[in-house]
Amino acid sequence: MSVTAERRTGRPAGLDASTMAEAFQLTAAANPDRMALRLKDDAMTMTWGEYADKVRALAGGLAGLGLGRGQTLGIMLTNRPEFHWFDSAALHLGATPFSIYNTYAREQIQYQVGDAEARIVVTETAFLDQVAGLEGVEHLVVVDGEGGLSVADVEAAASGDFEFEASWRAVQPDDLLTLIYTSGTTGPPKGVQITHGNQLSAVRGFDEMIAFPDEGRVISWLPMAHIAERACSHYLPMVLGLTTTCCQDPRQVVAYLPEVRPSWFFAVPRIWEKLKAAIEAGVAAEQDAERKQATEWALDVGLRRVRAEQAGEEVSPELAEEHAKADALVLSKIRERLGLDQAESVNVGAAPTPREVIEFFHAIGVPLAELWGMSETCGYGTCNPPDRIRIGTVGPISPGVEIKLADDGEVLMRGPVVMTGYRNQPEKTHEAIDADGWLHTGDVGEFDEEGYLKIVDRKKELIINAAGKNMSPANIEAKVKASSPLIGQAVAIGDMKPYNVALITLDPDVAPAFVQQHGEDAVQAEIERGVAAANEQLARVEQIKRFKVLPDEWEPGGEELTPTMKLKRKPIAEKYAAAIEELYA
């Protein structure tokens, strides 16, 4: 597999499409021999021409099973090629495929399938217990075993008079492309309705900001029920002809980086925090004193350069020369080992990222940048341009949309990427989108002097303490989590209280090794050290005065975390009410 991303010479054909079905067809016709989908080590490969043939065959079969324009298809799969086949086949029929989080319980799955009125569900053997026999489902497709229709069975269901070309050409920009069920921190999830036109507007805007290279490479690893992953590794490739490598186990994604060498990579803050901690642990454990000293020197030089640039200062010729040397000897080798040496743009989003984490990656030459968007806006809103990143912000307003702040600081957004509304929930839709078309995002923000947006926190989640002081729990939590690799999750509590306290869980990947090396007794001391270090970076009123380390492990999609690892604050407060009370006793 080639690992050189060429600078783009022409305009990708898919950018001029009016629907995602047309974009797919234009891309496949322009690049039939280019790799479209693959597994690690080329265990499976598929060109755009082969992908197009598979989509044609499955579209005919799904139509034969009764899937038509305006109907829905449920998909509960890991990140595997079959997801792309079935989702793409459905959208060519003008149908609306949607993804279900793999961690969902049967009751949650039934709610979504019922709300979407899906009569066909595609799944794999691992999820059969959760999916088999759902009410309203007429056809169950199992892509890797028994218990339902096979992929071949679906293809065989096509009728002889099905006209594929006429089918995809009948799809309209206003047709629903997908439903994104928000992993709500309160109440049942809302089905965000995204049209072909919405998503194409977002792809064009992203491409204008990031300028994706020709023959770019991405890794599919986050849940496809999340708008960010759908956009990154499914819709963007469809329009721009990128190659997607499927990573079925998200815990393995770091091992995929050196093999794929992605030209664009998106991850949630936790991944970047863990990568930083792993690199720093490697430096600390280095036995060769000379090598250790050289790495520490290079990281220091990188940091000095980043901080000078971010402060708007000129980088002195001496620092520039020292940096060039540090990069050649050490930093370029760290990037290469990570597999990020060919990344032209890397992004982080979905939650606040500590400044020191972003600075660290800039120091090693990886241009990590925050972006901001929501399911309701196709994940689109603001993004730091790769060549003009301002650390601590989520970037300037993206092309094609309007953003303004309400009187209370809430971020309002309007434009062609904004959803048509929530499925079957007109009241919620009217609450979210006002009469002038402004989406009320629920995020509180502020603009800096350069017009870059900073997100302060969720409007409903701000801590207002007993003295009336407003503060951001997410900011406090980000500092605490960044202070020690041993800390997995942190929840800051202090609403209407005299001071802030925190509930902390240990990182399940780091804790066992730490205990083995230092013993059980050292855990509390390390967390105390981390909290103290975080407090030094916080205003006195924001500091954590007391904390409790919980013996529990919080899983994405469980009682405490949404599938996208956002904190479910209300359920946490209820479940751990006694522990919280004790911290204020």
Instruction: Provide the terminal-to-terminal Cα distance of the chain, rounded to the nearest Å.
Output: 61
Q: What is the pLDDT of residue 458?
A: 81
pLDDT band at 185 (very low <50, low <70, confident <90, very high): low
| More confident of the two residues 147 and 268 | 147
- Write phi, then psi, for 361 (nearest 5 degrees): -70, -35
Question: Is the pLDDT score of 555 beyond 90?
Answer: no
Q: What is the pLDDT of residue 465?
A: 83
Whole-number Å distance between alpha carbons of 196 and 491: 38
Whole-number Å distance between alpha carbons of 454 and 444: 9
Q: What is the pLDDT of residue 9?
A: 65
Say which CATH architecture domain 462-583 belongs to.
Answer: 2-Layer Sandwich (3.30)
How confident is the model over 119-134, as a mean pLDDT?
Answer: 97
Nearest 5°: the CA angle 86, 89, 93 is: 135
Q: How many CB atoms lie within 10 A of CB 454?
A: 18
Q: What is the pLDDT of residue 271?
A: 87
Cβ–Cβ under 8 Å, residues 526 and 514: yes
Tell me, what DSSP letter sits at residue 361? H
Are β-strands 402-405 and 410-414 bridged in parallel, bridged antiparallel, or unpaired? antiparallel
Tell me which residue has tokens 């409903």.
460
Question: Is the pLDDT score of 3 beyond 60?
Answer: no
From 277, 515, 562, 540, select the one nearest 549 (Cα to Cα). 515
Whole-number Å distance between alpha carbons of 411 and 395: 14
Model confidence over 319-366: pLDDT tens digits?
999 999 999 999 999 999 999 999 988 999 877 788 899 999 999 999
Per DSSP, what are the bridge partners of residue 245?
Answer: 38, 219
Whole-number Å distance between alpha carbons of 37 and 237: 10
The token pair at 336 is 């290469």
| More confident of the two residues 261 and 556 | 261
From 217, 510, 232, 249, select the one nearest 339 (Cα to Cα). 217
Cβ–Cβ under 8 Å, residues 270 and 357: no
Question: Is the pLDDT score of 1 beyond 70?
Answer: no
Say which CATH architecture domain 13-205+215-253+261-267 belongs to.
Answer: 3-Layer(aba) Sandwich (3.40)
Per DSSP, what are the bridge partners of residue 402?
Answer: 414
How confident is the model over 149-162, as a mean pLDDT?
Answer: 97
Whole-number Å distance between alpha carbons of 128 and 141: 10
Model confidence over 29-43: pLDDT tens digits?
999 999 999 999 999
Q: What is the pLDDT of residue 380?
A: 94
pLDDT band at 191 (very low <50, low <70, confident <90, very high): very high
Are β-strands 217-220 and 243-246 bridged in parallel, bridged antiparallel, or unpaired? parallel
Calculate the CA 243 to chain-centre distance. 18
Which range, of 80-89, 273-282, 337-346, averages the lowest pLDDT?
273-282
**SS3 sequence, 223-270?**
CCCCHHHHHHHHHHHHHHCCEEEECCCHHHHHHHHHHHCCCEEEECHH
Q: Where are the domains of the chain?
A: 13-205+215-253+261-267, 462-583
For the chain, the average pLDDT equals 93
Whole-number Å distance between alpha carbons of 379 and 389: 19
Whole-number Å distance between alpha carbons of 505 and 576: 12
Question: Is the pLDDT score of 123 beyond 70?
Answer: yes
Cβ–Cβ under 8 Å, residues 137 and 119: yes
Q: How many CB atoms lie within 10 A of CB 363?
A: 23
Whole-number Å distance between alpha carbons of 324 and 318: 10
Q: What is the pLDDT of residue 265?
A: 95
Q: What is the pLDDT of residue 244?
A: 98
How confident is the model over 549-553, as a mean pLDDT?
Answer: 91
Model confidence over 369-394: pLDDT tens digits?
999 999 999 999 999 998 899 999 99
Q: In what order do the strands lie in the sheet with 487-493?
A: 487-493, 500-506, 544-550
Question: Is the pLDDT score of 119 beyond 80?
Answer: yes
**SS3 sequence, 417-439?**
CCCCEECCCHHHHHHHECCCCCE
From 29, 28, 79, select the one nearest 51 (Cα to Cα). 28
The token pair at 577 is 């009410």
Q: Is 504 helix (H, G, I), strand (E, B) or coil?
A: strand
The token pair at 76 is 């509960």
- Write phi, then psi, for 162 (nearest 5 degrees): -70, 130
Q: What is the pLDDT of residue 187?
A: 65
Are β-strands 463-464 and 470-471 bridged in parallel, bridged antiparallel, or unpaired? antiparallel
Residue 518 contacts by C-beta under 8 Å, 6 or more apart in sequence? 526
Calculate the CA 419 to chain-centre distance. 18
Whole-number Å distance between alpha carbons of 366 and 343: 8
Cα within 13 Å of Cα(188), Cβ side: 16
Model confidence over 227-241: pLDDT tens digits?
999 999 999 999 999
- Write phi, then psi, for 80 (nearest 5 degrees): -135, 160
Q: What is the pTM of this model?
A: 0.87
